[in-house]
Amino acid sequence: MFVDTYKFTCVERFLKYVKYDTESNPDSTTYPSTERQKVLLKELAEELKTMGLGDAQMDEWGYVTATLPSNVSKNVPIIAFIAHVDTSPQVSGANVKPAVTKNYKGGDIRLENGLVIGAKENPALKDKIGYDIITTDGRTLLGADDKAGIAEIMDAVNYLVSHPGVKHGTIKVCFTPDEEIGKGTEKLDVKKLGARFGYTIDSGGIGEIKTETFNADGVTVKFHGMSAHPGYAKGHMVNSIKAAAAFIDGLPKGTLAPEAVDEREGFVHCLSVNGNEELTTLKLIVRDFERKKLKEYEEILKTLAGCAVNQLPGSSFDFEVHEQYRNLKEVLDKHPEVTEYALEAMRRLGMDPKVGYTRGGTDGSRLSFIGVPTPNLFDGSYNIHSPLEWIAVQDMELAVKTIIELARVWEERS
């Protein structure tokens, strides 16, 4: 099925890509949110050109797109493989020092700075005996979310270019910025991309395909007060920070708090607080698999804000909601072949695939609602957004094979 002499390049590429600092910034007003993302994006465009994808380019917004032309005469729907370059701003992605544990023997993995990837807390490790495990030194993210996906797509394209006997339709490659801050497709021209269906390669264990995501809104609450010199403030000062504190104190703790829920439960979460006596701004996120529940949670927050200002005469608040993404299941249910073909590709490679959900979102969440139904396929990474992040070399190579086999399935079924 695959040429035995082919030397996979995904790991070599991955170890190079993680050394680029591509952290996104949720407080930025530019697009992409950080210029440093463009450094890697430009490099990727050049690598794709070197492979032979002549139309590879990075546009003004940082999106990298390229086309691998069909090598068959029949009409095969154009599919896209998509990954994002940015890393989460929750943990530093600068000065990443990857480490490889060869022939993992089992048990805990101790990182250079003393942190431990515990075997008990990471049950997936029990299936990786004899594998080569990539981690960091414990001081940064590894960045497998989603540089593993990038490396795997690049390797799959390299294989298809160098093995023209593998039949496939037209394939689009798309690398995006700012996915981690919910803006990965904000400026993407899907008509220019030209794909009918897509697949993000963005986290998850072997055989996972995520066909359901959260629905997601962002909420901004601004508490207004009145500033005055603290030495002469009696009867004049209204401290907006105190209204914000009352609001925060009222946030759900046993229910609807992210640290208290799991599986298919939703949550509300305060991301940041910034202010002074005059103005305090809070940024929150609201998540649930059922779209209608977002409104319920937002009404809870609005009621809490009203109670907070009632406790502080003279204060007031503004309440803004902005849509971030919606559950891609609503769209994928109308196009079952997108999921079925991915499952078929995995089964051919000996996997026992699992259809599931992710307690988050992907670029596919919004892509699905703007005309490109896009589930998420595994890239092999674990403990994303954490210095305990890890990925197995052999799992990355299996992800590459999955992409190649999926292109083959689409050609055969068309």
Residues sharing a CB contact under 8 Å with residue 210, sequence separation 6 or more, in sequence order: 204, 356, 357, 358, 362, 375, 376
Phi, psi of 224 (to 5 degrees): -105, 135
pLDDT-wise least confident of 30-34, 241-245, 254-258, 389-393: 254-258
Map residue 122 onto helix, strand or coil.
coil
Interatomic CA distance for residues 65 and 45, integer angstroms? 8
What's the whole-number mean pLDDT along residues 322-346?
96
Under the banding of pLDDT at 50, 70 and 90, the label for residue 254 is confident
What's the whole-number mean pLDDT along residues 225-242?
96
pLDDT of residue 2: 67
Look up tokens 């390669």; give the residue. 201
What's the whole-number mean pLDDT along residues 254-268?
94
Maximum Cα–Cα distance across the chain: 82
User: What is the pTM (predicted TM-score) of this model?
Assistant: 0.90
Query: Which domains, ranges and CATH numbers included, belong to the chain?
Result: 10-213+327-413 (3.40.630.10), 216-324 (3.30.70.360)
What's the whole-number mean pLDDT along residues 267-278?
96
Interatomic CA distance for residues 277 and 270, integer angstroms? 20
pLDDT > 80? residue 276: yes
What's the whole-number mean pLDDT along residues 383-404?
97
Map residue 398 onto helix, strand or coil.
helix
Residues sharing a CB contact under 8 Å with residue 150, sequence separation 6 or more, in sequence order: 13, 14, 17, 44, 83, 85, 175
pLDDT of residue 117: 97
What's the whole-number mean pLDDT along residues 121-147?
97
What's the whole-number mean pLDDT along residues 390-399?
98
Q: Is 60 a residue of the active site?
A: no
What's the whole-number mean pLDDT along residues 70-74?
96
pLDDT of residue 153: 98
Under the banding of pLDDT at 50, 70 and 90, the label for residue 114 is very high
Q: Is 179 a residue of the active site?
A: yes
Look up tokens 């093995």; give the residue. 163
pLDDT of residue 309: 98
pLDDT-wise least confident of 5-9, 173-177, 259-263, 402-406: 5-9
pLDDT of residue 6: 87
Burial of 130 (0-12, 13-18, 19+ CB in 10 A): exposed
pLDDT of residue 245: 98
pLDDT > 70? residue 1: no
Interatomic CA distance for residues 275 and 269, integer angstroms? 18
Catalytic residue among 21, 23, 47, 86: 86
Structure-token pair, residue 51: 């492979």
pLDDT > 80? residue 222: yes
pLDDT > 70? residue 370: yes
Catalytic residue among 179, 180, 212, 363: 179
